[in-house]
Amino acid sequence: MKLSGKTAVVTGAGSGIGRAIAECFAREGAHVVSVGRSAKKLEQARSAAGDAGERIIPYAADVSERAKVDALFQWAEEKLGTIDILVNNAGVNVVKRTMRDLSPEDFEKMINVNLTGAFLCIRAVLPKMRARGGGLIINVSSIAGVRASVLGGAGYSASKFGLSALSLTVGMEEGRNGIRSCMICPGEVNTPLLDDRAVVPGAEQRALMLQPEDLAQAALLIATLHPRATIPELIITPTVYSFS
């Protein structure tokens, strides 16, 4: 198994991309703390993982709250010993996402989860990664964090641009300490987040999109590179969609 002996914390792991990454890492031998706001969803995901579920430990927490993040990582370190890999995947969008309709409350919600949540998790793991001289941080951003997107909306794009800048800057600062900060920027992915669109895509359209397991394979690629190599930014899109 490619990640035997490794440990990981994966946020947003109750469904979609985070769930797929947590299961993939566990199938490859890693012990994984899966984090999400719903304990029920986390347990359902763990049970559905079969034998790999024995290496998944659910923990319900809202990553936008500093005290809860601090408690999460204290608990995770007690369970895992060390944290080799952090995957920041927790993310939200809203239905009313145009500037005409976007409320201050919804804007703050997206910044708090998509950007501040990642910052708090990175801040929690960095000291011990520095002390060990190594560690891997994978931030799941978006194409909307590379190019502003009307489809994603102003607030979502702003939060993901912020996450992209955060991820790249952490990599530049911490590479000398053996810590890699890598960012995955996917195009459209078939996840429950699509249900928050004003026009919800149908089954035929969803089938053409990236699937959560595609992102899990991308994360596994990053996680299995030799520590001397890093991928600061990985853009992955559906084959049928143009990107240039």
Write out the chain's pLDDT in tens, 244 residues.
Answer: 999 999 999 999 999 999 999 999 999 999 999 999 999 999 999 999 999 999 999 999 999 999 999 999 999 999 999 999 999 999 999 999 999 999 999 999 999 999 999 999 999 999 999 999 999 999 999 999 999 989 999 999 999 999 999 999 999 999 999 999 999 999 999 998 888 887 889 999 999 999 999 999 999 999 999 999 999 999 999 999 888 6
Torsion of CA 124, 185, 148, 196, to 10 degrees: -80
Of 2.30.110.10, 1.10.3720.10, 3.30.70.270, 3.40.50.720, which CATH number belongs to 7-236? 3.40.50.720
Residue among 69, 101, 75 nearest 196 (CA): 101
pLDDT in tens, 77-91: 999 999 999 999 999
Strand order in the sheet with 85-88: 56-60, 31-36, 7-10, 85-88, 135-140, 179-186, 233-236
Long-range contacts of 61-64 (CB under 8 A, 24+ apart): 61/35, 61/36, 61/37, 62/37, 63/11, 63/35, 63/90, 63/113, 63/117, 63/118, 63/120, 63/121, 64/112, 64/113, 64/116, 64/117, 64/120
Instruction: Report residue 27 as tokens.
Output: 């199938």
Marked catalytic residue, from 25, 59, 73, 156: 156
* Maximum alpha-carbon separation in the chain: 50
pLDDT in tens, 143-188: 999 999 899 999 999 999 999 999 999 999 999 999 999 999 999 9
Residue among 131, 135, 117 nearest 7 (CA): 135
Q: Does the active-site annotation cover 156? A: yes
Residue among 158, 126, 127 nearest 142 (CA): 158
Q: Is 33 left (phi over 0), alpha (psi -120 to 50) or beta?
A: beta
Q: What's this model's pTM, rounded to 2 decimal places?
A: 0.96
Rounded Cα gap, residues 92 and 117, in angstroms: 11
